[in-house]
Structure 1
Amino acid sequence: MKKVLVTGGTGLVGNALKTIIDESGTKDEWIFVGSSDADLTDGNATRALFERVKPTHVVHLAAMVGGLFHNMNNNLDFLRRNLQINDNVLQNAYEHGCVKVISCLSTCIFPDKTSYPIDETMVHNGPPHPSNYGYSYAKRLIDIQNHAYHDKYGCMFTSIIPCNIFGPHDNYKPEVSHVIPGMINRMYSLIHENTDVPESEKVFLVYGSGKPLRQFIYSLDLARLTIWVLDNYDSIEPLILSVDEENEVTIYDAAVAVAKAFDFKGKLECDTSKADGQHKKTASNRKLRSLLPDFQFTDFEAGVKASVNWYIDNISKVRK
């Protein structure tokens, strides 16, 4: 029986894992911890956590994360804190004899200037986009650490690289939210504030040109795939977990999906005074499809609708 420690277990992906685990009826023991349980930037606190839990496996989700604008203004903080977290978690996983560690990376780690679609062999082929280089380099180094621990100690430390994640239990704080939860939060505010203005006359601003392309994965799909990786994927090489290339959408299309989920009656306009960030980072899931060809991803609009419904149902919790 596995004893799985999930760092960052109170966030978007951790909550999705809880949902899938509860549905599965597994006999494995899963322990979900958040920042209030241990400061993973602190070596002693991390060691105490591992000594207390004694995990056989680790799903490492913990990270300092944020949206485009938060990253742009805090690259040093993103670099230092994530380096500390990753070093502490992986070293303690080794010292405590963990059988396997899966660390969660991001498609933003890939080179800014590259050919498309990007795949797992291209992680270190050039510098990442300058907007979030601190976070990107810290995450890239997990792949280097995985290889180094394997070379020296034979550790089965691997990594997954999801595309943009969204779903219930997301972070909706304006200063740190990613694109879809940020849109959901702003759309709700637009609809429910200034109620003396007819909704049909309200304008929702899409930040930037609306033209950048993104692949979005629903958090519960990512949770199912992560569990599959834990049970079945035995390589230290990273694995991209992404929807198919043809499911890529523009930021404007994502805003349309959010508006549709809210049944918004107003207009959408692009605010080109805001930065776009990287234009595209199209990822190939060919390796995943070769291993798991029949996996069915949640339809994007259906996932957005479910996310909006969860947000509305939990409004007192997400906006406190």
Structure 2
Amino acid sequence: MASDRTELRILVTGGSGLVGRAIERLVKGGERRDGEEWTFLSSKDADLTNVDETRAVFKRYRPTHVIHLAAMVGGLFRNMKYNLDFWRLNIHINDNVLQMAHEHAVAKVISCLSTCIFPDQTTYPIDESMIHNGPPHSSNFGYSYAKRMIDIQNRAYHQQHGSRFSAVIPTNVFGMDDNFNIEEGHVLPGLIHKTYLAKMNGTPLVVWGSGKPRRQFIYSLDLARLFIWVLREYEEIEPIILSVGEEEEVSIKEAAESIVSAMGFEGEVIFDTSKSDGQYKKTASNGKLRKYLPHFQFTPFNQAIKETCDWFVANYKVARK
């Protein structure tokens, strides 16, 4: 996009979250192009479950493009406890953002989905054509169905109004600025916080579950780079999976070992098998992404873990936890 073209006003909802912060780091670090104006919106700026507040945001910033990250999110155990809340709040947020984008003639919206939207009973690797082939895992069906509906709405807006609303499907994201809450956060930030406390207190590190489930983890800075590419270059309405390759999948046990090494923890590691493992695997194909970006370089997992752990230790007092 050359600087002599129409100015792009890019609104990022959920701008204070893990992915929003990563995008902001890149934009402030030199990724912003001439003619682009970026606004990072947080939950403190507006309640996106409220249509009037959402309308006011769009009226104020007049975005031409939207990266929609805002959502009620949480780890396995919070999802299991609050499936109704995850459904209702996310449905309200998504409907308000997409409808206001339509009403304000936004040129392009890129929403963020999750691999948990895929059917629980399926063949692997999963790809973009399989989203609606069966019910998602029962542990987080509220969140999963709410996210699936973004894809339905995108198709409907395109069919009825010609809107260019699309979505990306990242695998498990982690990195700096994550939510490191042990009870309600995702697995990696929770383990990082646990390891920090275990090292500080001289106690064993207790990992919930057997450690056997496998995941593809993507570093937030890598995902941010891909998000910016999607916003600028990706023209399909169909979603695209943003993920490391299948060969980069690691077990929770291997992830815990990487964190233990990065944190210099030398104590005992215990796997509490009385806790649920959740879905055993969600192996996703990044074949579609590779057709577009065959040479994209992902940050090696252990390096990304080390950078995240170092950031958490250095920012312990201010990190979300």
Fold shared by both chains (TM-score > 0.5): yes
Letter in 1 for 2:84: L
Letter in 2 for 1:217: I
Are 2:18 and 1:12 aligned?
Answer: yes
Letter in 2 for 1:241: L
Aligned-partner Cα distance in 2 for 1:273–1:262? 26
The match for 1:225 is 226
For residues 58-85 of structure 1, the C-alpha deviation after alignment (integer angstroms, 9 at most, x for no partner) is: 0000000000000000000000000000
Letter in 2 for 1:142: I
- The Cα shift of 1:25 comes to 4.3
Are 2:261 and 1:253 aligned?
Answer: no
For residues 166-217 of structure 1, the C-alpha deviation after alignment (integer angstroms, 9 at most, x for no partner) is: 0000001223210000001111111112xxxxx4xx4211110100000000
- The Cα shift of 1:256 comes to 0.4
Q: 2:195 aligns with which of 187, 190, 205?
A: 187
Aligned-partner Cα distance in 2 for 1:5–1:36? 15
Aligned-partner Cα distance in 1 for 2:93–2:298? 31
What secondary structure sits across from 1:58 in the alignment? strand
CA 1:319–1:243 in structure 2 vs 1: closer, same or farther (change >3 Å)? Answer: closer
For residues 137-189 of structure 1, the C-alpha deviation after alignment (integer angstroms, 9 at most, x for no partner) is: 00000000000000000000000000000000000122321000000111111
The match for 1:213 is 214
For structure 1, the 5+ residue unaligned runs are: 194-198
- The Cα shift of 1:243 comes to 0.3
- The Cα shift of 1:318 comes to 1.5
The match for 2:3 is none
- The Cα shift of 1:267 comes to 2.2
The match for 2:175 is 167
The match for 1:134 is 142
- The Cα shift of 1:8 comes to 0.2
Aligned-partner Cα distance in 2 for 1:177–1:189? 16
Aligned-partner Cα distance in 1 for 2:45–2:181? 22
1:267-282 aligned within 5 A = 267-282=268-283
The match for 1:90 is 98
The match for 1:203 is 204
TM-score (norm 2): 0.96
Deviates more, 1:49-58 or 1:183-192: 183-192
Aligned-partner Cα distance in 1 for 2:130–2:21? 30
Count, aligned residues: 313
Deviates more, 1:258-267 or 1:272-281: 258-267
Question: Given that residues 199 and 267 in structure 2 are in contact (C-alpha distance below 8 angstroms), is that contact kept between their aligned partners in structure 1?
Answer: no
Letter in 2 for 1:303: A
Q: Identity of counterpart residues, as a percentage?
A: 58
Aligned-partner Cα distance in 1 for 2:155–2:266? 52
Letter in 2 for 1:30: W
Aligned-partner Cα distance in 2 for 1:4–1:240? 22
The match for 1:46 is 54
Aligned-partner Cα distance in 2 for 1:117–1:206? 27
Aligned-partner Cα distance in 1 for 2:77–2:87? 15
Q: 1:125 aligns with which of 118, 122, 133?
A: 133
Are 2:22 and 1:26 aligned?
Answer: no
Question: Given that residues 178 and 320 in structure 2 are in contact (C-alpha distance below 8 angstroms), is that contact kept between their aligned partners in structure 1?
Answer: no
Aligned-partner Cα distance in 2 for 1:140–1:37? 26
Aligned-partner Cα distance in 1 for 2:240–2:319? 32
TM-score (norm 1): 0.96
The match for 2:122 is 114
For residues 281-300 of structure 1, the C-alpha deviation after alignment (integer angstroms, 9 at most, x for no partner) is: 00000000001000000000
Question: Given that residues 177 and 320 in structure 2 are in contact (C-alpha distance below 8 angstroms), is that contact kept between their aligned partners in structure 1?
Answer: no
Aligned-partner Cα distance in 2 for 1:305–1:26? 30
Aligned-partner Cα distance in 2 for 1:186–1:210? 15
RMSD: 0.9
Letter in 2 for 1:41: T
Deviating beyond 4 angstroms after TM superposition, the runs of 4 or more aligned structure 1 residues are none
